């Protein structure tokens, strides 16, 4: 069962390659407010692990990594 | 104090320049401050004019046409664009090497605006003494 969330911001990085999607996510994170939910769309497979690792390492909350049709959705909550 | 990474970008082939931009991106994602010292063949690729055409390092020669075609087809940004993106995310300083710039008679104005300053090797080594340092 997928956790329920409503994204405050959607970063659509589909079609860009490593490290593009992660850089886009960090940019969005920096301009976000605490408790904002940021959702990253990516078609780059490396990003699936890389972005999830960054979210955990930076001390934020990883809500989940979901397989969508033809892309991944990686969702985080800004807690720091 | 933030962890630091220093890159010496000596090669000017597209593959190695891209590697430098990608590693710098990984460094800022890990909150590291990055100093990049661009010298020799790397420096010839940040000049505004008279920049040689993109090349690949020796082992990439056989795949050259294929690789450049793929990069175009998949819309992969060139290394300067990639480095500019990383600069927006974290603290990256790009330095031109004073010695090689002198040799080419080039000043900061002759280089891509990505260059923050022109410094000598002494200053670069001194700022890198507590850094993870890579030679590319």
Chain A residues near residue B30 by CB distance under 8 angstroms: 57
- How far, in Å, are A27, A45, A75, B81, B95 from residue B109 at the CA level? 29, 40, 43, 19, 13
Q: Among A11, A15, A21, A26, pick the best mutation site for testing chain B contact (most B Cβ within 10 A).
A: A26
May I ask the CATH architecture of the domain A9-77?
2-Layer Sandwich (3.30)
> What range does the domain containing B114 cover?
4-135
Chain B residues near residue A30 by CB distance under 8 angstroms: 89
pLDDT of residue A5: 87
Contacts of A74 (CB under 8 A, 6+ apart): A25, A39, A40, A42, A47, A48, A51, A52, A55, A62, A64, A65, A66
**Which tens digits make up the pLDDT trace of A27-40?**
999 999 999 999 99
Q: B105 to chain A, minimum CA–CA distance in Å? A: 35
Q: Rounded to an integer, what distance in angstroms lies between the CA atom of residue B99 and that of residue B125?
A: 14
Q: B76 to chain A, minimum CA–CA distance in Å? A: 7
Residue carrying structure tokens 């087809």: B73
Q: Which CATH number characterizes residue B68's domain? A: 3.40.1260.10
Report the complex ipTM. Answer: 0.81
Which of 34-73 (A) contact B at CB < 8 A?
A: 54, 57-58
How many independent structural domains does chain B possess? 1
**Which tens digits make up the pLDDT trace of A1-28?**
566 889 999 999 999 998 999 999 999 9
Mean local confidence (pLDDT), A63-75: 95
How would you write the pLDDT of chain B (136 residues) with one tens digit per residue? 689 999 999 999 999 999 999 999 999 999 999 999 999 999 999 998 878 888 999 999 999 999 999 999 999 999 999 999 999 999 999 999 999 999 999 999 999 999 999 999 999 999 999 999 999 9
Please list the active-site residues of A.
Answer: 18
């Amino acid at each position: 069962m997928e956790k329920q969330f409503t994204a405050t911001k959607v970063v659509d990085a589909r079609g860009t390659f490593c490290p593009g999607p992660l850089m886009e996510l960090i940019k969005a994170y920096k301009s976000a407010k605490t408790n904002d939910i940021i959702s990253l769309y990516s078609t780059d497979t490396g990003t699936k692990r890389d972005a999830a690792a960054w979210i955990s390492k930076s001390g934020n909350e990883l809500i989940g990594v979901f397989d969508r049709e033809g892309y991944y959705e990686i969702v985080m909550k800004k807690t720091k | 104090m933030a962890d630091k990474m220093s890159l010496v970008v000596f090669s000017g082939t597209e593959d190695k320049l891209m590697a430098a931009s990608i590693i710098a991106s990984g460094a800022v994602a890990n909150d590291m401050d990055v100093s990049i010292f661009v010298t020799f063949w790397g420096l010839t690729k940040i000049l505004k004019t008279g920049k040689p055409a993109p090349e690949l390092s020796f082992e990439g020669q056989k795949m050259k046409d294929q690789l450049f075609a793929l990069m175009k087809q998949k819309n992969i940004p060139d290394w300067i664009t990639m480095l500019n993106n990383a600069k927006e995310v974290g603290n990256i300083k790009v330095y031109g090497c004073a010695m090689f710039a002198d040799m080419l008679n080039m000043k900061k104005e002759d280089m891509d605006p990505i260059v923050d300053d022109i410094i000598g090797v002494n200053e670069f080594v001194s700022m890198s003494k507590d850094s993870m340092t890579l030679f590319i």
